[in-house]
Amino acid sequence: MSVTSAQFSAQQDFWANGEHRPDKVGDFLNRKEVIRMLAADGLPGAKILDAGCGTGYVAEMLGRRGAHVWGIDECIPFIDAATNSTANDVVRFQSGRIEKLPYGSECFDHVIAVSVLQYMYKGCIGEFFRHVARVLRKNGTVIVSMTHPDLYRLCYRDHEGDTQDKPAWIHFSGRSGSDGVDMVDTYTQHYFNASGNGSVLQGVRAYSGKDIVDMAECAGLKMVSSRSIEYPKSLVEKYPQWGSVWGYPSYLILEFQK
């Protein structure tokens, strides 16, 4: 089990229960956009792999729209939560590492990795893309979303300066230029859901879009689109206690094709 997976497992009461479902917190926008992108290509009958599926929210939404979906995650409590929920009716779940995908060649139309890559070492991301290139069919696509690299810098600045003296739904501390493994800024992530309950994850990596594009292209994948997701004013009004973090570029979504 990786260090990050162990952290998620240790905090499973926060991450693996219904309270954290994306319809209850801001990051549903990120997941909603990934679903919209896939739906534009037609979901009924499409074979989709959700790599790092967590508790299965996105996989379930895709399955209920007619796609044939497989979900894989290294964190066993997440897979247990997914298989014990209604998501199990429309998705095949299993535990495993996404940099060692246990699937045959050219068996998926799409692969997605939603809010996953920032928790992985760079070498593991490279392996993940190589496996993706193997399991994707010709002209298949992979969509990855990750914390926007600007969000680390902005949240870190506001948290350290305590500009509004208000808790943010997410902030970062403990910035380091290297963790001894990757030459990339790493942070400690402090996350709060809509109920005010929190989680702390160490060793979160602030990869740039170029970092991810370079690793995907080394595996033979071509970038076809890039977009940023920001939080709308309506959520600022709904959760004013979370302060100025709202409106920052919060997620970066990259789409590649084989």
Q: How far apart are CA 220 and CA 233, in angstroms?
A: 39
Q: List, in order, residues 6 or more apart from 206 with CB less than 8 Å away.
A: 118, 147, 149, 152, 153, 184, 185, 186, 187
Give the Å distances, CA to CA, from 3 to 6, 67, 104: 5, 32, 27
Cβ atoms < 10 Å from Cβ of 111: 28
Considering the entire predicted model, what is its pTM?
0.90
Where exactly are the structural domains of the chain?
Answer: 3-148+207-257
Q: What class, spelled out in words, does domain 3-148+207-257 have in CATH?
A: alpha beta
pLDDT value of position 25 = 47
Structure tokens at 74: 């290294």
Helix (H) or strand (E) segment spanning residue 255: strand 249-257
For residue 98, how far is the Cα from the chain centroid?
A: 13
Q: Which segments in the chain show pLDDT lower than 50? A: 19-20, 22-25, 163
